Amino acid sequence: MAEDLLSSLEKSFQNIRKEIRDPLDVLKFEKNLDYARKLFWENGENSLLKIGEPSALAKRFMALQGELNEMRAEQEMYLDYKQQEFRKKEEERLEECNHQLRQRRLTNALNKQEHEEEHSTARILTQQRSLQSEISSSLLSMASILKQNALSFTNALVQDAHVIQRTGETLEGNQTKLETTNERVMKYVRSKKLGFWKRLSMVLTAVVAFIVMLFIIHFTK
C-alpha cells in the first residue's frame, strides 16, 4: 500500500514539478508524502522479521524528499524574485503617482498663478478705464470752461470795441470843438478887438475843455 501511494506521489510530483505551484499544493503533497512514509515504516517493521529492510523503497522516499526540498528552495527563490519584482513595480507605481501628484500640484499652481495674473490684469484694466473716464470728464469740463471763457472774452472785446468807438466819436467831436474855438481865438487875436480878460477866459475855456476831454478819455478806457 505504501509503494502504491509512493508511485502515485511520484507521478503527481512530476506534474507539479513542471511549474511553480501554489504553496498550499506543495504543502498538501508534503503531507501525503509523510503519510506514505509513515505507512512504509509501519509495513517495514512488520516485514523486517520475514524479508528484511526494503532499502529500494526507502531510497525512493529519500529521492522524492530531496526533489521536494529542491522544489521548495526553487519555490522560495521564485517567491523572493516575484516579491522583489512586485516591490519594484510598487515602487515604480508609487514614483509614477508621486510624479503625477507633483505634476498636478505644479499645474494647479500654474493655473492659480495664471488666474491671479488674469485677475490682476482685469483689475489694472478696470483702473485704467476708470482713470481714462476721469481724465475724459476732466477734459470735457475744462473744454466747457475754456469755451465759456472764450465767449466771455469775446463779449468783453465787443463791448470794449463799442466803448472805443464811442470814445473816438467823442474825441472827434471835441477836436472839432477845439478847432472851432481855436479859430475863433485866432480871429479875436487878429482883430485885436478882444480884451485881456476875454482872451484869458477863452484860454481858460480851451484849457477846461482839454481837461474835460482828458477825463473822458481816462474814464472810458
Identify the DSSP state of 220.
T
d(C-alpha 210, C-alpha 217), whole Å: 11
Q: Per residue in 165-192, is it b (16+ CB within 10 Å) or e — as a string? A: eeeeeeeeebeeeeeebeeebeeeeeee
pLDDT tens digits along 75-109: 777 778 878 888 888 888 888 888 888 888 888 87
CA torsion sign for 37, 38, 41, 44 is negative
Please report the pLDDT score of residue 68 as a whole number: 72
Q: What pLDDT, on a 0 to 100 scale, did the predictor assign at position 52?
A: 46
By the 8 A CB rule, do 34 and 88 touch? no
| pLDDT given at position 50 | 42
Please state the φ and ψ torsions of residue 54, each to the nearest 5 degrees: -80, 80
pLDDT of residue 47: 46
Residues of the chain predicted below pLDDT 70: 1-30, 32-33, 35-58, 61, 185, 188-195, 220-221
Parse the chain into domains and list their residue ranges: 160-219
